[in-house]
Amino acid sequence: MSFVDDAGETWMFDLTYFRSNWQCIYGAGCAGIEEETDVDGQRGCCSYGAHFVDDADLSRVMDIAAALPQELWQHHGLRPSPTGSRAEDFDALVDALTTVDEDGDRLTRVVDGACVFLNRPGSPTGPGCALHVAAVASEIEPLEWKPEVCWQLPIRVEHHLDDYDRSTHFVRQWTRDDWGEAGEDLGWWCAEAAEAYTGTANVARYLRAEVSALAGDDIATALIEYIDGASNVVTLPSVLVPMPTRR
């Protein structure tokens, strides 16, 4: 199904996925994303550092990290003490909480086999992302505090530009194949297991905040209404094309 936003860009949604009842099963049987399953470790998709999409993404997350309370973040002790200089404090946070991979991309640091922001089983808050836990405690939508890549998965958006500079964005679920050769050993468990398709709402509703952040609130609403069968979408009449008479 496709919708056009106010800027004239087209958003196409894979209804096979968005009509399904997929849900995140972190802490409810999720076996992680590595080749060897690990349910008890409850690392979910946080076994690797989260890549930052740009400087604004990095700056936002570092600002949140600087304010995270100790009781909500197991690895709070890795955060450097503030000096009073915003520039120096920011650089110190980046050095302590992030790293750079072989491709030169900035990502969160991995501590004992998982992202520095992941609280492990046995921590006061229980397992889970400290940024997510803190956002919920503050009644903030978690995607506003987490690295963008963390909340965009498992949604994948493919951007296409036609010969007339018109943009079309195809929104679907990430699959193992999307990772190329690396996907052969990737435990893309949460997207493939039957246990993940047990939600009480369709994906359009379950991930409404994420769709809204990507495509805008009007598109998110239109998608839900269409799937729920309560939309005002007008079906265009088919055009009868006269066929030439065979002689």
- What pLDDT digit, counting tens, does each position of 36-68 carry? 888 899 999 999 999 999 999 999 999 999 999
Checking if the pLDDT of 247 tops 70, the result is: no
Confidence (pLDDT) at 105: 95
8 A C-beta contact, residue 131 and residue 57: no
Q: Quick one: pLDDT at residue 232? A: 54
- The Cα–Cα gap between 69 and 76 comes to 8
125 and 141, same domain (yes or no): yes
Structural domain that includes position 141: 46-152
Closest CA to 68 of 9, 30, 125, 16: 125
Q: Is residue 120 part of a domain?
A: yes
Let me know whether 165 and 146 are in one domain. no
Q: What is the pLDDT of residue 114?
A: 95
Residues 117 and 165 in one domain: no
Give me the pLDDT at residue 184, please: 67
pLDDT of residue 28: 87
Residues 101 and 147 in one domain: yes
Q: Quick one: 86 and 132 in the same domain?
A: yes
Last residue within a domain, chosen from 152, 172, 200: 152
Per-residue model confidence (pLDDT) at position 34: 82
My answer on whether 137 and 200 are in the same domain is no
Q: How far apart are CA 17 and CA 221, in angstroms?
A: 17
* Number of domains the chain contains: 2
User: Computed over its alpha carbons, how large is the radius of gyration of the chain?
Assistant: 21
Domain assignment of residue 113, yes or no: yes
Q: Kindly state whether residues 8 and 57 are assigned to the same domain.
A: no
User: pLDDT exceeding 90 applies to what percent of the chain?
Assistant: 70
CA distances from 218 to 58, 139, 157, 202, 222 (A): 28, 23, 18, 18, 6
Give the tens place of pLDDT for each residue, 11-41.
Answer: 999 999 999 999 999 988 888 888 788 889 9
Q: Which of 1, 8, 6, 3 is nearest to 161 (CA)?
A: 8
160, 148: one domain: no
Two structure tokens written together for 123: 């921590």
The predicted-structure confidence for 112-151, as pLDDT tens digits, reads as follows 999 999 999 999 999 999 999 999 999 999 999 999 999 9
Helical packing angle, 55-67 and 130-137, nearest 10°: 70
One domain, residues 167 and 204? yes
HEC assignment per residue over 46-81: CCCCCECCCHHHHHHHHHHHHHCCHHHCCCHHHCCC
Q: Are residues 148 and 189 in the same domain?
A: no
Choose the final residue of a domain: 92, 120, 152. Answer: 152
What pLDDT is attached to residue 191?
77
On whether both 58 and 130 belong to a single domain, the answer is yes
Alpha carbon 6 to chain centroid, angstroms: 24
| Tens digits of residue pLDDT in 189-246 | 677 788 889 999 999 999 999 999 999 999 999 999 999 986 555 555 555 555 555 5
**Element spanning 192, H or E:** helix 189-192
Instruction: Please state, rounded to an integer, the average pLDDT across all residues of the chain.
Output: 89
On whether residue 29 sits in a domain, the answer given is no
Are 1 and 62 found together in one domain?
Answer: no
Residue 219 lies in a domain: yes
Average pLDDT, integer, range 94-101: 97
